[in-house]
Structure 1
Amino acid sequence: MSRRTLSSVVVAVLLVGLLAVAAFLPVPYVTMSPGPTVNVLAQQDGKPKLDIEGTKTYPTEGSLRLTTVSVTSPGAEISLVEALSAWFDGTRAVYPREVIYPPQQSVADVKRESSVQMVSSQDTAVAAALTELGYKLPLRVEVLAVTDGSPADGKLQVRDRILEVDGTKITDVSQVSQLIQKSGVGNPVQVVVSREGRRRTLTLTPQASPDDPGKAIVGVQIGTGYDFPFDVDVRIDEQIGGPSAGLIFSLAVYDELTKGALTGGASIAGTGTISPDGAVGPIGGIQQKIVAAADAGAKVFLVPADNCDSAVGAAVSEDEIRLVKVQTLHQAVEALTAYAKNPNADLPRCP
């Protein structure tokens, strides 16, 4: 073997070695795959996932499945090989990490935001369903999240209704932070809340914000809630977060408060945010959610209208699952009512 040939072999071996190493180095991307689906009409540990008390409900059948995606966790990394594998897999997707996890957000921030979105979406979903049924709902100011280790930790709870702060009646979300800021760091504030129908007075001592030492905080996220005429409790795995199950939650509440089975006994899946007036909004991961629904045996998938263009690219056939376009909760109810009467009914389609 000549010196030139030997050199070429050595270079080739080194290059292959470097490529092999590089293939397993972390890359700044995350993968999104079909996740589990959950039938919100079913039971969990012997109790209904959707529990309505204080008003008449009706038996139902079939399934209404919320759909999820499995995303690389905030603290995990993927290799080039894993990214390429997902890229060429028609059921998965690859995104730049910063698109899913903004650099300025910590892992704790991401989890807290997801939890807040889920709590908020459940309340909004109930409000949308009741509004569709003709109820008028007064608004309230409530706790959406409590930060671990904060002054509010162990005192305030999610869904506590904020009635007063330092003697001032609370009618708007912005009042809470303004009054806490007015009190200042280290100066106790009296917070009156309503919890499970009981009035409670709590003392919180604001601390300085880590991002702004001059700002007083107690470690809660406050938002708008609703005074419902009866109790609605949703039991869903805490690992499932975000606002995208709003439409399915609304349909489930509507189904249990009306006679007959909205699904007609069929397996229905869907996704979409929901607003109090019933408008259905777009979500992420639509193709992966459709695949997950088809794998779970769903026959119809309710698609937010703004997701339709992407939805038709899901790796499923029309024979597997039917994509139905919806813009509002009312349209979704009409579509399912028609489908229950005739599975071959002409329904709004994607695209």
Structure 2
Amino acid sequence: MTHSMKSSRKKRILMGIFILLTVSLFIPTPYYIFQPGSVEELSSKVAVENANPSSEGKLYLTTVLSMRASNIYYLAYGLLAPHAAVERSTSVKGDMTDKEYNRWLEYLMNSSQKNAIIAGLQAAGEDVVIHAKGVVVQTVNDKSRAKGILEAGDIIHSVDDVPVRNSSDLLSYLKGKNAGDIVTVAFQRDGKKKSGDIELIPLVHSETKAGLGIVLSDHTEMETSRNVKIQAGDIGGPSAGFMFSLEVYKQLQKEDITKGYNIAGTGTIDQNGRVGQIGGIREKIAAVDQADIDIFFCPRDIAPGDTNEKEVLEEAGKYGYDVKIVPVETLEEAIQFLEKLPPKQ
């Protein structure tokens, strides 16, 4: 083989490698990368009418930075970077489209804020009136005939012109129906009214013989004794709910419940003040370690599948994080802990 032929072959190989590397930049992978996000102070995000917002210490929410592994290089980074986790997109958002997933995250955050306001005000002895206003679609079963008609985040207001205020109303109406029956569902999506005819499918382990084949939760609105505004910015999902509720409660107390400490935390919240499990707890405690936080509230493990308490304690022990970890089951439990806490020296 002549020198010129060898040189030409080498150039073709290098060109092939270059093309392969360039093309690989544009091939998305089916993964998400999760990393430690920000630790954000809450008093600037929560405004309670006629409140007592001043305190020596502060409350903080914690976030996880999530990004799509849009090519193999991002994926490699996610696999190698410290405190990063990689998950398949199906385990993150199921079979939702990106638009559905973003709408669902927005709904979860709005619902979480509403629950936080209700729980925080009630813990402070304030009056709150809750009105049932329909049911919200969480997921649509693969076998459901509602596929392509209903999406995550849709709010159902009536079925066959019968008002649906809560999930009990929907179940009561469907009890007399059979698989194959067609019902007209009126719902709201992104502020717009829509409707669709949906064939019912057979259900097992259900109060009804037939149903829409969706997972749903109650959608409510509230009347409160005073105005509360939460400005979450671009934070999505429900995991800041517990800390929002604690901030609402804090601003209604005459005494400083922080006792001078910097206190962060995470967890969902329901209207009764119960704290629920969240994703990304390992990334959140890593973010807390870098932010001069004294105390970190996390959801207590109660149900068999709960792992938040276990994971956060494992992570703190593994890396020697200097923060007091306090697992809680309810907002009230967190308040009681703070009441017994000696002032920071």
Choose 105-114 or 261-270, whichever is displaced more.
Answer: 261-270
Pair 254,81 (structure 1): closer, same or farther in 2 beyond 3 Å: same
CA contact (8 A) 2:135 2:166 kept: no
Distance 2:250 2:39 in 1: 19
1:58-104 deviation line (CA, Å, top 9, x unaligned): 2322321111111114xxx433333233223231111111111212x
Alignment partner of 1:80 is 2:80: no
Query: By how many angstroms is 1:33 displaced?
Result: 0.9
Check whether the contact 2:135–2:167 (CA below 8 A) recurs between aligned residues.
Answer: no
**Structure 1 residue 232, shift from structure 2 partner:** 1.1
Question: Is 2:134–2:166's contact at 8 Å kept on the other side of the alignment?
Answer: no
Query: Which residue of 2 is the match for residue 125 of structure 1?
Result: 116
CA drift at 1:265: 2.7
Superposed CA offset, 1:16-67 (max 9, x none) = 889967975543211001122321112xxxxxx21222xx422322321111
1:172 deviation in Å?
4.0
Matched, 1:224 2:245: no
Q: CA deviation at 1:293?
A: 2.2
Give the CA deviation at 1:144. 9.5
Match of 1:108 in 2: 99
Alignment of 1:259-298 (within 5 A): 259-298=254-293
The amino acid across from 1:241 in the alignment is G
Structure 1's unaligned 5+ residue stretches are 43-48, 146-161, 192-203, 213-220, 344-351
Q: 1:58 — aligned with what? A: 52
Q: Which amino acid in the other structure matches residue 119 of structure 2?
A: A
The question of whether the paired residues in 1 share the 8 Å contact of 2:42 and 2:244 is answered with yes
Change (3 A) 1:235 1:185: closer
Q: 1:301 aligned to 289, 296, 300, which one?
A: 296
Q: Which residue in 2 is equivalent to 1:195?
A: none
- The CA distance in 2 between the partners of 1:133 and 1:185, in whole Å, is 39
User: Residues 71 and 266 of structure 1: is their aligned pair in 2 closer, same or farther, counting only changes over 3 Å?
Assistant: same
* Structure 1 residue 339: Cα displacement: 3.5
Pair 1:274–1:168, CA change in 2 (3 A): same
What is residue 65 of structure 2 aligned with on the other side? Answer: 70
3-state SS of paired residue (2:272): coil
Query: What is aligned with 1:95?
Result: 87
8 A Cα contact 1:60 1:260, kept in partner: no
Specify the code of the residue in structure 2 equivalent to 1:133: A
Whole-angstrom distance in 2 between the partners of 1:81 and 1:295: 26
- TM-score using structure 1 length: 0.66
8 Å contact kept, 2:289–2:321: no
Residue of structure 2 in register with 1:200 after alignment? none
Deviations 1:267-323 (A, max 9, x none): 21110011222221110000111122222322221111121111132575332x222
Query: Does the 8 Å CA contact 2:59/2:258 hold for their aligned counterparts?
Result: yes
- Correspondence 1:1-351 to 2 at 5 A: 25-42=27-44, 49-53=45-49, 56-61=50-55, 62-73=57-68, 77-103=69-95, 105-135=96-126, 137-142=128-133, 172=166, 206-208=194-196, 223-237=219-233, 239-306=234-301, 307-311=308-312, 312-313=314-315, 316-319=319-322, 321-341=323-343
1:170 CA drift (Å):
7.6
- Read off the aligned partner of 1:51 and give its amino acid letter: A
Change (3 A) 1:142 1:316: farther
SS at match of 2:244: helix
Q: Decide whether aligned partners of structure 1 residues 273 and 222 sit closer, same or farther in structure 2, where only a CA change above 3 A counts.
A: closer
Give aligned-pair identity as a percent. Answer: 28
Query: Structure 1's 175 and 206: CA in aligned 2 closer, same or farther, altered over 3 A?
Result: farther
Instruction: For 2:256, give the aligned amino acid.
Output: A
Q: Deviation digits for residues 106-153 of structure 1, max 9, x if unmatched?
A: 1111111111111111111122223323445332034899xxxxxxxx
SS of match in other structure, 1:243: coil
Q: TM-score normalised to the size of structure 2? A: 0.67
SS across alignment from 2:253 = coil
RMSD: 4.4
In 1, the alpha carbon distance for the partners of 2:28 and 2:328 equals 40
- CA contact under 8 A between 1:185 and 1:205: conserved in structure 2? no
Partners of 2:48 and 2:183 lie apart in 1 by 40
Quick one: distance in 2 between partners of 1:106 and 1:332?
Answer: 37
How far apart in 2 are the matches of 1:258 and 1:36? 27
1:201 aligns with: none
Distance between the aligned counterparts of 2:184 and 2:298, measured in 1? 47
Does the CA contact (< 8 Å) of 1:255 and 1:261 recur in 2? yes
Q: Distance in 1 between matches of 2:341 and 2:297?
A: 12
